[in-house]
Amino acid sequence: MKTQLENIYENAKNDLTKASSINDLDDIRAKYLSRKGEFNEIKKGLKDLPEQDRKIIGALANEITQKLESTIKSKHDEFYKKELDIKLQGEKLDITLPGKYVPQGHIHPLTSTTNEIVSIFQNLGFSVVIDENSPEVETEYYNFDMLNVPQDHPARDMQDTFYTKIAPNVLLRSQTSGAQIHVMENKKPPIRVVSPGRVYRNENINARKNNFFHQIEGLYVDKNITFGDLKGVLNEFIRLYFGSSRPTRFRSSFFPFTEPSAEIDVQCIMCDGKGCRTCSGTGWLEILGAGMVDPNVLKGVGIDPDVYSGFAFGMGVERLAMLKYAIDDIRLFFNNDVRFLEQFK
């Protein structure tokens, strides 16, 4: 049995000198040292030996397996290092190389302008209504009828308004003012809201006009609201948005749903009022329409105009962004030229 053991040990040592990888070592361990390995087979026979021999052979078997274990272990460490070195060589990386450029998106200037305007009004006590309270595909009822726009008003004409084929009275809203009606149908005064969104008009496209653009509608209805409140709120908005430095002017105007009505112009930033292509020579750019809510509009939504009054306004987001960032052509917002957009990171 002793010779048997020694023979197996010799074989094992032989195998070990030939081993060249961790895989080989695993095979050797399985062949000799596992539960079904050659040494275990021998150890199983120990129980049949006389007590004295059993001790000697048992000790020898243990000694040999321990020696084998430790050789396998040191070879394992050695191979592991070698294999790791080879792997690392293959994956060698230069940590001084500059990183890969990952382009980062950012918010479109119209979105950030909208956010900025809306947050100014939020700070003035207005809340925001969007989407379900002011759909872009709208009916004549909300876009015109309830806003006191007469049936024969030229703004209803196909030239200004995009009608759809869904039904004769369904259109792409030409203004966000329909949001006023949606809000007043759902809420009793006091009402103080702004509603941003996209509007569509069949315009000739030029530096100032596109056939869709963005507006922010505002509505304030309560007891004792006067034109003084309108001026106070809008002047404060202009002061906060532009800083006090840009000259502005109030101009009387007309809208079917407000009486009296006004428009606010801001001096053209491109020419400082001298007149240029962007302001078509006038020196001013109109940024918003406003006025006291017409009593007819209040009546239409069941609000008593003898008890309540209010003002409304609608401003053009593109115009406001152009004036703030000195953008001379509205079409730049919609061309998606990254050289333009990247300036608004």
Using CB under 6 A, list all residues that contact ligand PHE. Answer: 175, 177, 255, 258, 261, 289-291, 312-314
Q: Whose Cβ is closer to ligand PHE: residue 175's or residue 309's?
A: 175
Q: Whose Cβ is closer to ligand PHE: residue 37's or residue 218's?
A: 218
Q: How far is the CB of 224 from ligand PHE (least distance, A)?
A: 19
CB neighbour burial string for 297-321, b if at least 16 within 10 angstroms, e if fewer? bbebbebeeeebbbbbbbbbbbbbb
Q: Whose Cβ is closer to ligand PHE: residue 29's or residue 187's?
A: 187
Which DSSP category does 256 fall into?
Answer: T
Q: What is the CA radius of gyration of the chain?
A: 42
Q: How far is the CB of 104 from ligand PHE (least distance, A)?
A: 36
Q: How far is the CB of 124 from ligand PHE (least distance, A)?
A: 17
Q: How far is the CB of 286 from ligand PHE (least distance, A)?
A: 9
Encoded tokens for 172: 């792409």
Residue number closest to ligand PHE, CB atom: 314
Residues 6+ apart with CB under 8 A from 34: 40
* Pairing outcome for strands 137-139 and 284-293: unpaired
Omega before residue 260 within 30° of 0, cis: yes
List, in sequence order, every beta strand (DSSP E) within 33-123. Answer: none
Q: Whose Cβ is closer to ligand PHE: residue 31's or residue 231's?
A: 231
Give the C-alpha separation, 315 to 215, whole Å. Answer: 5
Q: Whose Cβ is closer to ligand PHE: residue 109's or residue 291's?
A: 291
Q: How far is the CB of 293 from ligand PHE (least distance, A)?
A: 8
Closest CA to 134 of 71, 182, 99, 169: 182
Q: How far is the CB of 102 from ligand PHE (least distance, A)?
A: 41
Q: How far is the CB of 272 from ligand PHE (least distance, A)?
A: 26
Closest CA to 210 of 335, 109, 326, 324: 335
- Determine the length of the chain: 345
Q: Whose Cβ is closer to ligand PHE: residue 279's or residue 312's?
A: 312
Q: Whose Cβ is closer to ligand PHE: residue 81's or residue 251's?
A: 251
